[in-house]
Structure 1
Amino acid sequence: MGAEEKLRRAATRVVDLVLTEDCAYLDALPDAVEIEVVTPLSAVGRALDEGTANELAQAVGLFLSCAAPVAGEMPADLAEAVTELRAGLREYEPRGAWSGPPIKGSTSVAVIGNPSHDVQNRRHSARVGRAHPAHHLPRLRT
């Protein structure tokens, strides 16, 4: 199995776990986890359906950077799926993932998924007056 296929399978696992039709799993998540992961995970789902491998890698990176601060509050099955997704992204990146400029408000692909870099980037954003991207988004409930 190639690196792109592993990344797609890991991303599908997380999306299918959290974004179900009945929203039962999503509603059972701690509020902090739900607030941080829903919107970036929706972007991962869109990239799986419509995007290129590089767009998927970029969406996964944004999701991982948003999920890192609340990883300790995640249920065990979600934490395991996120760990698998992080490993899939790391395996895919050396093969020439995103090579363009970073998305405004996200970390660069070179450091995505690395919690120490995420914390540094958040501190920098706070100093220059930009909040974490997920804090600007309305809370989604269905």
Structure 2
Amino acid sequence: MSIAVNWGDPDRTTLQLTFERGWTWENLKQAIAQADMLIEAAGHTVHLIIDLRGGGGVPRDFLTAAGDLFAQGEARPNEGTRVIVGAGVLLRGAYRSLQALYGTQLAERPFLFAASPDEAQQLIAAR
């Protein structure tokens, strides 16, 4: 799988999705399904760190595929803060476009952005 899903700490309060070069939208759907199962089973708040730094570029049809993902379901009751690590200017701009299109869904599940995993942990700790 080109997206690894792992616990980020021994207490299982942070789940990390680490993207590797060559990932596909199907990989992302599988990783989200795996993350959802882990979050639901945790029984406590679980934060997400989505690390794009090693993922290379974004596959084609970003806006369509991302929109489809955002339109699926709601946040889990115990889903915490979601931080994207390593998003470039283009991806952040695309996120703003998605906010305009899917404002209601994204308002309940906003993303924060960080340059490093350490900064992501600081953002989570501050919330």
Please report the TM-score for the alignment, with normalisation by the length of structure 1: 0.30
TM-score norm. by structure 2 comes to: 0.32
The structure with the greater share of residues assigned to helix is 1
Structure possessing the higher radius of gyration over alpha carbons? 1
Q: Comparing both structures, which one devotes a greater share of its residues to strand? A: 2
Larger RCO of the pair (alpha carbons < 8 Å, separation 6+): 1
